[in-house]
Amino acid sequence: MDYQKLSKELSYALRHAPHEYELELDEQGWVPIKQLLLSLHEQRKWRAVTEEDLHKMIALSEKKRHEINQGKIRALYGHSVPQKIHKEEKEPPAYLFHGTPQRFLDSILASGLVPKGRQYVHLSEDVQTAQQVGKRRDDHPVLLRIDARQAWQDGVKFYHGNELVWLADHVQKEYISVY
């Protein structure tokens, strides 16, 4: 079983295209594992996938992208489905980080961080994670530091993604500096 491929397929299904899999996300993004498996089994390459494989996939992944609880599974972040996924509000650490390609810098410093194609802006708890996120699109990404404590005190909402990923609706430019 190629668990990395399975993880990509699940991210696609649970973040972006549940309807292609005849799935409906609830307001926190959960779907019943039974329904997901029925849908996956329609594809030849996934006809033998079991619930045990989903657990294994999560355990083997270098990032915690998916979560299983009480017979359901969800993507923890990254959604682009039209229906807004409700995330738990949480007080952030003093600083959060965001890695982005050089070419986006001027625009971000002018209008802040906006969610673009996703439902939320994605922020990293640590510099190394932000660096990796930025490297997906630029060999020498820019690292931004978000004054999350100040933003939180000013009423900006932050949400928990996983241990390393934080979410926000929009981060205004006054909280952003080049790190």
Determine if 165 is a binding residue for ligand HQG (CB under 6 A).
Answer: yes
- Comparing CB distances to ligand HQG, the nearer of 46 and 129 is 129
Closer CB to ligand HQG, 46 or 134, in the complex: 134
Please give the residues from 113 up to 142 whose contact with ligand HQG meets the rule CB under 6 A.
113-114, 116-118, 122, 133
Check if the beta carbon of residue 127 is closer than 8 Å to that of residue 143. Answer: yes
- Rounded CA gap, 63 and 165, in Å? 10
CB-wise, 42 or 174, nearer to ligand HQG? 174
Can you read off the two tokens belonging to residue 16?
């972006």
Burial grade of 123 (CB within 10 A; 0-12, 13-18, 19 or more):
buried
Tell which one of 49, 65, 96, 148 touches ligand HQG (CB under 6 A): 65
Cα 54 to Cα 59: distance, rounded to the nearest angstrom? 9
The answer to whether residue 177 forms part of the interface with ligand HQG (CB under 6 A) is no
Contact status, residue 167 vs residue 106, Cβ threshold 8 Å: no
Stretch that binds ligand HQG, among 22-30, 35-43, 88-96, 103-111 (CB under 6 A): 103-111
> Should residue 7 be labelled a site residue for ligand HQG when binding is judged by CB under 6 A?
no
Output the six-digit token pair for 146.
Answer: 């978000």
Count the residues of the shown chain that bind ligand HQG, applying the rule CB under 6 A.
16
Contacts of 137 (CB under 8 A, 6+ apart): 100, 101
Among 63, 145, 157, 160, binds ligand HQG (CB under 6 A): 63
Which of the ranges 17-25, 26-34, 81-89, 105-113 carries the binding residues for ligand HQG, by CB under 6 A?
A: 105-113
| Strand-strand pairing, 165-168 and 121-124 | antiparallel
The answer to the question of residue 78 lying near ligand HQG (CB under 6 A) is yes
Cα–Cα distance, 90 to 82 (Å, whole number): 23
- 155 touches ligand HQG (CB under 6 A): no
